[in-house]
Amino acid sequence: MKTRKLGKSGLEVSAIGLGCMDTTRPHAPVPDRNEMIAMLRTAVERGVIFFDTAEIYGPFINEDLVGEALAPLRDDVVIATKFGFNLDPIKRKNLGGLNSHPEHIKQMVEESLKRLNVDAIDLLYQHRVDPEVPIEDVAGAVKDLIQTGKVKHFGLSEPGAETIRRAHAVQPVTAIQSEYSIWWRLPEKEILPTCEELGIGFVPFSPLGRGFLTGKLAQNATFAATDLRSRIPRFQPEALKANQKLLDLLGEIAEKKDATLAQIAIAWLLAQKPWIVPIPGTTRLSRLEENIASAEIELSPDDLREINDAAAKVDVQGARYPEELDKMTGI
């Protein structure tokens, strides 16, 4: 697979990474641990070298799995993880709320290093901006960790543009991670221009719209109570039905390119900027290979114009998060 550099940092990763959250998802069907370890190792064989996890996933069990799966391949991969929630690593429980106090960051990094079975974290994100802790203090804590060799690069997830600037002034930010796809384009307003100005890479999560942009979800789809989509307005029946128009238009383009909807969605992201690296998640090898093949799809300026024109005709219905989660984002 082709590689890309995240902004001016010099951190080189595969053009498409792998979001690992679903490999330990709590809702049915619960993935088999051994199968997920095998899939992560197969991903490396196929050229994926950029893996994304977080302490909150589980909590902790996702880092455990990623650490075990990638230990034999450590020198070949880049592992990103995140801090920022109030978690108890001893009792392995989520205590609720955000926590980016410097002492907590340093404690959690020590625990993440053990779970990931690494000497240094390649890319460490603040998972959500903590309104109780100045971002300068957060960036300063990560700067200390970089100076001691426990962390290599600093990132932020779902921050606003001003937060990015303030953090970057203390410790250069390597990557911003936020949701971005054909059906969620708000980062284009302020975040992407800020990244371009400062030389920061951008890592879109949910590049397939949490499965919607694959075209595999029925208009009357239902989700388990433990599945976040069950609480997201955009995945309620009325919204799914209204948003089908976007899939119909993209389907015409996919047919012309002899590609799947998912591949067009990922290829569109790759075509936006050379420092954008999407991290679609999956638990199925067939989907992994489908996503990887997206890197080989070339979209011409005319193709991109056609996609943008199609998307502009659809007023996407429904918020991307339930209200309580939307409050945690700064974008």
Instruction: With respect to residue 292, please indicate whether it lies within any of the assigned structural domains.
Output: yes
Q: Look up the domain containing 149 and give its range.
A: 3-211+261-298
Tally the domains of the chain: 1
End-to-end CA distance of the chain: 31
Q: For the beta carbon of residue 294, count every other beta carbon within 10 angstroms.
A: 23
Question: pLDDT category, 324, cuts 50, 70, 90?
Answer: confident
Both tokens of 232, joined, read 């997201």
Catalytic-residue membership of 57: yes
Q: Could you read off the pLDDT of 95-129 as tens digits, one per residue?
A: 999 999 999 999 999 999 999 999 999 999 999 99
* Position 79 confidence tier, pLDDT thresholds 50, 70, 90: very high
User: CA-to-CA distance for 240 and 210, rounded, in angstroms?
Assistant: 12
Q: What is the pLDDT of residues 195-242, one digit of tens each?
A: 999 999 999 999 999 999 999 998 888 898 889 999 999 999 999 998
Residue 207 lies in a domain: yes
With a cut of 80, say whether residue 331 has pLDDT above it: no
Alpha-carbon span 94 to 100, nearest angstrom: 14
Both tokens of 103, joined, read 């002492």
Residue 245 placed within a domain: no
Nearest one of 114, 113, 118, 57 to 84, comparing CA atoms: 57
Q: pLDDT band for position 326 (50/70/90)?
A: confident
d(CA 13, CA 23) in angstroms, rounded, equals 21
Rounded average pLDDT over 289-307: 95
How far is residue 52's CA from residue 165's CA, in Å, rounded to a whole number?
A: 24
Report yes or no on 252 lying in a domain: no
Q: What is the mean pLDDT of residues 132-139?
A: 98
Three-state secondary structure call for residue 96: strand
Angle, alpha carbons 137-142-144 (nearest 5°): 95
Residue 256 falls inside a structural domain: no
H or E element, residue 122:
strand 121-126
Q: Which residues contact 137 (CB under 8 A, 6 or more apart)?
A: 100, 101, 102
pTM: 0.97
CA distance 64 to 242: 40
pLDDT on residue 110: 98
CATH, residue 288: 3.20.20.100
Please indicate, yes or no, if residue 64 is contained in any of the structural domains: yes
Q: Is residue 121 part of a domain?
A: yes
Q: Residue 217: inside a domain, yes or no? A: no
